[in-house]
């Protein structure tokens, strides 16, 4: 991991409830006036914008203290203005970037330093990346919310940095955990933390599956018992039995 010494001022797009990782292509819906202005400004220039997540998603007008300091430089691929005044934008994540200074002008602007990642050649780290993919496969089988094509595309990746970020973008963990992964500049530490998070999610999903299975069995048992009871009542009725289990002959004998 290395940093570019050249600092540059880049408009910021504050994000709520999402952390954009390098290599991600994501659609975003933007409605805040300052954010729309920032997008329009960069569209007229180099289409580069810093994607920075808010520390509190409920904050409507984030100040410099309401934004994390590590984000992802994004390139706007497409921008579409919608009839209700909001903007749908398609962005592609590039490199990580560290905010050195943040200013709120017509819109948020950051003095940022790009973070360059070295090519991974350490066999141990490469093996850790492959192990993370295998663990991700187990996670997919349990969660059933991720398309199988995602695993196919991940298996084709050779860049360990890209493997770590791609997996991180798909694992359903909290925004705080995702931001932590984004801020881990050492890929070994990032993979180890990612493996730990996936392990925790897999454990929870396994417990949830056992609970669902137990509840399903109980429901099936209850339904089966109800069905048998109804059948028994129908048979008793056909045999001329009363509700207390006595037939008509027994009643005559008693009388």
pLDDT averaged over consecutive 10-residue blocks of the chain (255 residues)?
71 94 94 91 91 93 91 94 90 94 87 90 94 93 86 90 94 95 95 94 86 80 81 79 54 62
**What local confidence, expressed as pLDDT, does residue 238 receive?**
75
Q: Exposure pattern of 30-55 as b/e (b: 16+ CB <10 Å)?
A: bebebbbebbeebeeeeeebbbbbbe
Q: Taking Cα atoms as reference points, which of 86, 98, 138 lies closest to residue 7?
A: 98
When computed from its CA atoms, the radius of gyration of the chain, rounded to whole angstroms, is: 29
Residue 8 CB: number of other CB atoms within 10 A? 14
What distance lies between CA 236 and its chain's CA centroid? Answer: 57
* All residues at 6 or more sequence positions from 160 whose CB lies less than 8 Å from its CB, including other chains: 120, 125, 126, 128, 129, 187, 191
Residue showing tokens 């056909």: 238
Find out whether 246 and 237 touch, Cβ atoms under 8 Å. no
Nearest by Cα to 15 from 70, 47, 73, 54: 54
Tell me the C-alpha distance between 230 and 223, whole Å. Answer: 11
**pTM over 0.85, yes/no:** no
Q: What is the pLDDT of residue 35?
A: 92
Alpha carbon 229 to its chain centroid, in Å, reads 47
The two structure tokens encoding residue 105:
């002008």
Please report the pLDDT score of residue 251 as a whole number: 61
Alpha carbon distance 250, 247 (integer Å): 6
Enter the tokens of residue 27.
């659609």
- The pLDDT, as a whole number, for residue 194 is 95
């Amino acid at each position: 991991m290395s940093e570019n010494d050249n600092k540059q001022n880049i408009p910021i797009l504050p994000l709520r409830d999402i952390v954009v990782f390098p290599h991600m292509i994501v659609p975003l819906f933007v409605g805040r006036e300052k954010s729309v202005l920032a997008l329009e400004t960069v569209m007229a220039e180099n289409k580069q914008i810093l994607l920075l997540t808010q520390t509190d998603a409920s904050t409507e007008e984030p100040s410099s203290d309401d934004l994390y300091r590590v984000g992802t430089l994004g390139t706007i691929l497409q921008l579409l203005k919608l009839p209700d005044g909001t903007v749908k934008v398609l962005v592609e994540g590039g490199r990580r970037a560290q905010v050195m200074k943040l200013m709120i002008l017509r819109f948020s602007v950051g003095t940022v330093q790009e973070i360059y990642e070295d090519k991974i050649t350490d066999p141990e780290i490469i093996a850790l990346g492959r192990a993370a993919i295998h663990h991700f496969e187990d996670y997919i089988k349990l969660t059933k919310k991720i398309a199988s094509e995602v695993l196919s595309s991940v298996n084709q990746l050779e860049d360990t940095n890209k493997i770590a970020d791609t997996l991180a973008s798909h694992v359903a963990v909290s925004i705080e955990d995702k931001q932590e992964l984004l801020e881990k500049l050492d890929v070994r530490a990032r993979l180890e933390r990612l493996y730990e998070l996936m392990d925790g999610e897999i454990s929870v999903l396994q417990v949830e599956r056992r609970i669902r299975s137990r509840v399903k069995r109980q429901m099936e048992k209850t339904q089966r018992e109800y069905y048998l009871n109804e059948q028994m009542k129908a048979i008793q009725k056909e045999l001329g039995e009363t509700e207390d289990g006595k037939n008509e002959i027994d009643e005559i004998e008693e009388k």
